[in-house]
Chains A and B, each alone.
Chain A
Amino acid sequence: MKRILFLTVLIFSFGIANAHEGHDKTPGLQSTRPGGTIKGNANIYLELVSDKDGVKLYPMNHDKEPIPLAGVQMEGTMTIPRKNKSQVLKFTAQDDHFAAKVDAKGAYRYDLEASVTHGGKTEKIKFSVEPQQ
């Protein structure tokens, strides 16, 4: 009898622990992409994520969905304001984004002009990048 009672408690607790969850919609939250700066034009959008060592550019369509990198070419230059010296950046494709190393030479910001070719069209998109932010 004691065993039955023990098993009762055990089975019952197991059951409760494995019951399904109810759910309700969570307010206040919206999904975002990598969390960078988005700029674009009629053809393509780019999302820029930067750190002190360089930049990452995520190509996206108008629904902010990633575009396969195979059909995209990326080139770019960086210019430090008031110095008027440009530097050509070398982008490499990685998973769903293009990455380039940038030496900002301690500047608080630089202008990045990305030249992106997609669907036979080449577009220029400008970003103001703050590497130390």
Chain B
Amino acid sequence: MLDHVIRFSLTHRLLVLTLGVIITAYGLFTVSQMPIDVFPDLNRPTVTIMTEAVGMAPEEVETLVTLPLETVLNGLPGVERVRSTTGIGLSVIYVEFGWNTEIYRNRQLVAEKLQLAKEKLPQGVTPVMGPIASIMGEIQLIGLSSPSGEVSALDLRTFADWTIRPRLLSVPGVAQVIAIGGGVKQYQILLSAEKIQKNQLPLEEIEKALSKISLNTTGGYIDLEKKEFLIRNIGTIKSEEDILNSVVGLHLGRPVFVRDIAEVKLGPQIKRGDGSVNGKPSVILSIQKQPGSNTVELTEKIDAALKELEKSLPKGAVFHGDLFKQAHFIEAAVDNVKEALRDGTVLVFIVLFMFLLNFRTTAITLTAIPLSLLVTVIVFHFFELSVNTMTLGGLAVAIGELVDDAIVDVENVFRRLKENKTLQNPLSTLQVVYNASSEVRNSIVFATIIVVLVFLPLFYMSGIEGRLFIPLGVAYIVSLIASLLVSLTITPVLCSFLLAKDKLADHQDGKLVKVLKNWDRKLLVKSLDHPKIVFGIAGTLFVLSLLLIPFMGRDFLPKFNEGTATVNIMAQPGISLDESNKLGTQAEEILLKIPEVKSVARRTGRAELDEHAEGVHYSEIDVDFKEGGRSRDIVLSEMREKLESISGVFSNIGQPISHRLDHLLSGVRAQIAIKVFGPDLNTLRSKASEIYKALDGTKGLVDLQIEQQVLIPQVKIQLLRDEAGQFGLVAGELSETLEKALNGEVIAQVLDQQKTFNVYMRFDDKSRANLDLIKQTILKIMPDGRKVTLEKVADVFESQGPNQINRENAQRRIVVSANSSGRDLDSLVSEVQDRIQKQVPVPEGYFIQYGGQFESQKSASRLILLLGILSLIGIFIVLYAHFKSSFIAVQIMLNIPMALIGSLVAIYLSDRVFSIATMVAFITLCGIASRNGIMMISHYLHLMKYEGEEFTKEMVIRGSLERLVPVLMTALTAILGLLPLVLAKGAPGKEILHPVAVVIVGGLLSSTLLDMFVTPTVFFRFGRKSAESNLISKEIELKPTHH
């Protein structure tokens, strides 16, 4: 069939060339239209459900909100895990579905269940699904501040909420805009407990009156003078004056106005979070994109919208549009990888020209690169894959190999044309090109099949590693198959056009090739005479390289260089927002003193719509850096060092995308996570503490920590039913009244043009500032004039409660986490398990689970190892099918350990870390390394089969020398094609590709060098029997017969 393809191409040369041109044009058009992103789609289908229950303690939110919701959500089809975090007044549930489920279907299922659960939730508490945002969803941070203080914090926030947010939400592709800081403006009626007492008004009466303070109703229609009029009853309030002049009740027959019992003022809604830019209070808007949107394009649109908005900013307010932009990282990353592709292509061109010393052969070979790349782009387009660092990385890894098939074909055609010229009756050029292409097509196809086959098992990788490496594999495989097709069609056609001229065929080996062949001849003669020394050298090198393994570390994925940093500052839970703000500002000021820091943006606590259930003790500072300056490592360590000077806080420096990736992996950001499950929070905390004590001091265990679930101060008002009953007070109603008095309630809205602001009522700070005042709150006035105060019907006391409650799969849990250092993880985890089993008794109803990154890392490593063994078996089967000799198959596979030598040395000389990326690279290398062996051995067999050679030393030397140029060229092109990635350690976009390139380049170097003398020596020493039987065995040829 392959001969037919070559024949068809040579007999329809114009058609093939035209098709090539059409593919090029369509490919170029497609590439200009493709979406660009940093990584492939890494989103695990997760639905986030946020439920706000303002002011409720975590225990109540858990019982009344989280638990009923979890109960209905567990057991949904496709759900793999339900996690939740319950904090003060907030429940956040993460429903994690399987990787292959459809997010819209999942949301539909969740929505149906939420509808059911709604009835079980407290009144006014509504669960809301978070938007479909991607893991890299937060694409930009914008700040809004008033350095001169001309614009108030409330007005800044009002401008952000009512002008900027709606405008940005109207940009197609924006999923959510979350504002934090400033203060959401509201009209506050702050009731004075003392004045209420003086006017002897019960709280329930005041609440009833205030709830109707601002109402518009309709009076229906009235027909007047043949016209229909709509009647509107307007009672809405428009100003603070209106509120002050509203009546709330009667005292001794005299009306009591709001002004008699309360102060009305404009103030911020209760703040659970705040924002700051460069140490000054600000509003920060975080923009999230919809999955699938083109981040770079979207950022441009957002910037355009912001430019329009800038003109209408209140006087004295300024924008900080560039606090964080993911687009910068994407552009830098994609540009870096594109650069690697470009540099790789140039280096490949130089190698080709150095060996071929001929523009025409170089040009023919090089056509394979753009054509293969453009075919790949077209395939991407049909599979809806985006241009990202991993797909581009697949192409960058393949770049050197794309010309391999063409090199083998062009080199053989070139040699046969030269030989043809010396014949008495030369064949036609077309016939020679056909014969030469047909001659090498088997080794080309088999070599490509092996490279592809090796990669196929990697498509079974699941989880985040699968999401990352499958697009790389698709790009790699598709481009290699495309290059194979090009070498069977366009390459022979171009050879027939460009290499037909006599003077080209006169071309001789270049000086470099002559020198190399001379060296190789000497090496081969010595090697074939001293096989034991050759085997000894190869074996020793292999063993020595294996000895390097224990000196290397292991990581799940290489570290990213995102260009920005995220500093997390955690104060003691229970700290007030004001105090936390002070600590945050202190951290900002410290960071701003570092010369390389361009800007800092701090978000403390939680924004109103945010799906992060962080308490006010938690601050996240996004740090942007200036161009140039000291190296990032030095700057980060200075940041770390200086932040340690803030007492009472724990700080950590990370990066925005890495932070989210960690969260996605396990919900716990540590290598070892010991999860204790059980019903009682006190027991959980105490078991966690016992585990901490049992593990403290374990060799190789570092960063041992207990999850920050601690007790924070609370004031409890325990209603006493007996006492309340004596005054005719129903406990439930009393509880509601207290909620309104102390926590407050939104009772109406004030209209201001298109904006609406809440009217909110609660006790003023004087009335709730201390326990005594709270105790004196009048709840009811009895008919005989007796006042029922709170202390008569309730016990008011100081207490403590949990800051947050974490749950997983419908159970409460606490996590003890740790990392390992200087010790292998397997033995460490075994010791950890052993210590816990011996020293920590687990009560009935409690159990311990071990998880964390080590689990993902272990299962991924195990899977890749298994897939690697499957690949080796696959290679063997394909080789055996081709050569019909298990010895030849195994001998070709001998290139794999030879390649491993170089890979291990290369890793040792660079990062000294094994990651999923290096393991994927090892598997890729198996295929590439086998290729050299195939080329070499198939040529020996060809010489014996078709060119009358015997199994002699001369035949082996001749075959090796004739294959020297294509073997060196393919290896050098692959090596040099990857060189830009090898030299770009830690550059944005190349973090994952760098270790891949290091492994392949190191492996190719060693396998190519050793292949030059080890393969011929092994073949000459052990291969006679197999080679001779290979000549005798003939494939059964089935030809059509006539009856």
Contacts and interface: CB of A to CB of B under 8 A. Distances in A.
Interface of A: 1-2, 4-5, 8-9, 11-13, 15-37, 49-51, 81-82, 108-109, 128, 130, 133
A35 B718 contact: no
A18 B685 contact: no
B682 interface: yes
A26 B705 contact: yes
22 contacts: A4-B897, A5-B872, A5-B896, A8-B897, A16-B549, A19-B552, A19-B553, A19-B824, A21-B553, A21-B820, A22-B554, A22-B913, A26-B705, A27-B570, A27-B669, A28-B570, A30-B570, A33-B689, A34-B685, A36-B682, A81-B797, A128-B797
B166 interface: no
A119 to B, nearest CB: 25
B549 A23 contact: no
A125 B232 CA distance: 65
A31 B703 CA distance: 9
A18 B669 contact: no
A133 B705 contact: no
Residue of A23, A82, A108, A130 most packed against chain B (CB within 10 A): A23
Nearest to A17: B826
Interface in B495-522: none
Contacts of B854: 21
Nearest to A66: B693
Contact of A25 (B652, B688, B708, B824): B652
A33 to B, nearest CB: 6
A16 B652 contact: no
Interface residues of B, number: 74
A26 B689 contact: no
B446 interface: no
A37 B815 CA distance: 20
B568 A35 contact: no
Contacts of A35: 682, 684-686, 688-689, 706, 709-711
Interface string B533-552: 00000000010001001101
Contact of A20 (B702, B824, B896): B824
A109 B795 CA distance: 10
A25 B872 CA distance: 38
B798 interface: yes
B919 interface: yes
B996 interface: no
B820 A23 contact: yes
Nearest to B652: A27
Interface string B691-715: 0100000000011111111110000
A8 B869 CA distance: 11
B718 A109 contact: yes
A16 B900 CA distance: 12
Given A8-B900, A20-B822, A21-B553, A32 B702 contact: no
Contact of A23 (B821, B887, B914): B821
Given A21-B671, A37-B800, A1 B554 contact: no
Interface string B562-583: 0000001010000000000000
B861 A20 contact: no
A75 B841 CA distance: 28
Given A27-B669, A28-B652, A34 B708 contact: no
B568 A28 contact: yes
A65 to B, nearest CB: 12
B236 interface: no
Contacts of A30: 570, 650, 705-706, 708
B235 interface: no
A7 B501 CA distance: 53
Nearest to A3: B890
B886 interface: yes
Contacts of B896: 5, 8
B914 A16 contact: yes
Q: Which 10 A-B pairs have the closest CB atoms?
A: A35-B685, A27-B652, A15-B549, A29-B705, A23-B819, A22-B553, A21-B820, A1-B890, A34-B689, A26-B670
B865 interface: yes
B853 to A, nearest CB: 10
Contacts of A22: 553-555, 913
Residue of B554, B828, B869 most packed against chain A (CB within 10 A): B554
B686 A29 contact: no
A35 B707 CA distance: 11
A32 B710 contact: yes
A31 to B, nearest CB: 5
B64 interface: no
A133 B63 CA distance: 13
A31 B872 contact: no
A103 B670 CA distance: 42
A32 B570 CA distance: 14
Contact of A9 (B549, B688, B820, B869): B869
Nearest to A2: B890
Contacts of B680: 51
A44 to B, nearest CB: 19
Contacts of A33: 689
A12 B547 CA distance: 10
Contacts of B549: 15-16, 18-19
Interface string B664-685: 0000011100000000101111
Given A16-B865, A19-B550, A32-B689, A26 B669 contact: yes
Given A8-B900, A19-B553, 12 more contacts: A12-B900, A18-B824, A19-B824, A21-B828, A28-B708, A29-B706, A31-B706, A35-B685, A37-B711, A81-B797, A109-B797, A133-B682
Given A20-B824, A25-B703, A15 B546 contact: yes
A13 B798 CA distance: 59
B639 interface: no
B891 interface: yes
B708 A29 contact: yes
Contacts of A25: 652, 703, 819
B255 interface: no
A28 B620 CA distance: 11
Contacts of B553: 19-22
A80 B111 CA distance: 48
B442 interface: no
B33 to A, nearest CB: 39
Nearest to A96: B693
Interface string B780-798: 0000000000000001011
A11 B904 CA distance: 13
B817 interface: yes
Contacts of A32: 685, 688-689, 706, 708, 710
Contacts of B798: 128
Given A28-B669, A109-B797, A15 B707 contact: no
Contacts of A31: 692, 704-706
Interface in B630-688: 650, 652, 654, 659, 669-671, 680, 682-686, 688
Contacts of B67: none
A21 B682 contact: no
A99 B826 CA distance: 38
Contacts of B861: 16-17
A35 B822 CA distance: 30
A12 B542 CA distance: 10
Contacts of B692: 31
